[in-house]
Amino acid sequence: MAVRTQDARRERTRRRSTAGAVLATLLLAPACAGPQDSAGGLTAREVGATLDRRATAVMEHDTDAYLAALDPRAASFRAAQRTELHNLADVPLESWAYKVKDVSAKGDGEVTAEVELRYRIKGYDKAPMSSSRTVELVRRGEGRTWYIAADRAADGAPGQLWQQGDVEVVRGTSSLVLGVGRRKAELSEIADTADRAVPAVTGTWTEPWAERVVVLVPESVEDMAGLLGSPAASYQDIAAVTTGEVGGSGRAPADRVIVNPQAYALLGGFGQRVVLTHETTHVATRAYTSPATPVWLSEGFADWTAYRQESRTAPEVAPELAEAVRGGDLPAGLPTDEDFGFGEDPAKLSRAYEGAWLACEMIARDWGDEQLIAFYKAVGSRAGRDGAVEQAMHTVLGTTPQDFTAHWREYLSAQLG
């Protein structure tokens, strides 16, 4: 009978958002850059100038200048924005700017602007993080000055942590933890665990990476979902996810690991270490993860990195799959991308992660750690999925998908049967 520790069972609740809420990364540009005369005259430039003033006020923590850019008649909006600026006070920003994408007229003296908020956290982001915003502006006074009357996330875009409350900042050796509504002691413990994860990943992943991680800890799973732009039901049992750009552009900033505080708290020390090492692996490997990378490889490699630091047997790490194999239900093939969907049956989802981990574990055992990493990079170097895995299996592992799958099924039987 498989040994199932409480941590091992609960650790199965940890999942990563593979498509997830991706924060696109863009090079910093002047806020006023954008469409020319999109709402007539110099409107786009004037809107950009207004947003420039606001950005300067954010960087200088100048409340009066920040409020001066807001519609003097929008009392509730001004109050909310004052609070939001206060919430940002301790976040170590290196830059904050807006890029105007489009401006459309709503009426006489009223426009709606689609903009990109671009910001960097000092010491962590190599390039600006980007957030799509919809900003409404009005003209007021004899000078016909443009003022911001509303500012919200664009349709389908996620919110920001500082919009949820006052941001508490905890600095670790290799981590920065930003939390809202959580005790500082809790955030410090998360920073300590993240600090252990970073060298563990560096000791496995041989390619250079930033060797630092930003962790966001919202107050609830509902707030976590707000940061991801997805329904809260998708993340009820998910301890953490990682957001970021795939594709190896070389400009990707540090990803954000977002923790579900309720699910994360249910894990013991073992589970929490595995979760943050797993997510940190996604940060480290981001530049080599592309649309060509199947989910079984990205998730399996992250689990392989996390579990190789721990002394657990295969049945302990893969209890759901072990039960299936012992019951005669040996998987016919490697997990598909769809098998990792958050809406899947929890047991089926666990078996997908466990099977992916064992595939990477098998490569490391039979071909070696270096070949596993080389295989990961070779797959990710391709622009698209077609033929990527097949080619990498041929050139790096000297095998075919059919033979690899047969070998993997034998490995499952030997390890879990």
CA 317 – CA 395 distance, rounded (Å): 30
What is the structure's pLDDT at 302? 97
**Domains along the sequence of the chain with CATH:** 1-23+158-289 (3.30.2010.30), 43-156 (3.10.450.50), 292-417 (no CATH)
Q: Which residues of the chain have pLDDT under 70?
A: 1-42, 244-254, 343-344
User: CA Rg, the chain, in Å?
Assistant: 24
The pTM for the full model equals: 0.86
Candidates 341, 336, 244, 239; CA nearest to 285 is 244
pLDDT, residue 344, reads 60
In eight-state DSSP terms, residue 163 is G
| Integer CA distances (angstroms), 115 to 71, 150, 243, in order | 18, 13, 21
Q: What is the pLDDT of residue 309?
A: 82
Residue 209 confidence (pLDDT): 94
Quick check: helix, strand or coil at residue 220? coil
Residue pair 224/306 in contact by the 8 Å Cβ criterion: no
Contact present, 297 and 376 (Cβ < 8 Å): yes
**Burial of 156 by CB count in 10 Å (0-12 exposed, 13-18 middle, 19+ buried)?**
exposed
What number of other Cβ atoms are within 10 A of residue 19's Cβ? 11
Q: Which residues of 347-372 are buried (b: 16+ CB within 10 A; e: fewer)?
A: eebbbbbbbbbbbbbbbbeebeeebb
Helices 319-326 and 346-366 sit at what angle, rounded to 10 degrees?
A: 90
On whether the CB atoms of residues 118 and 144 are closer than 8 A, the answer is: no
Q: What is the pLDDT of residue 245?
A: 53
The rounded distance, in Å, linking the Cα atoms of 119 and 26 is: 10
Helices (H), 229-368: 261-265, 269-285, 295-307, 314-317, 319-326, 346-366
Q: Quickly tell me which residue has 């993340």 as its tokens.
A: 235
Distance of alpha carbon 151 from alpha carbon 182, whole angstroms: 26
186 phi and psi angles, rounded to 5 deg: -65, -45
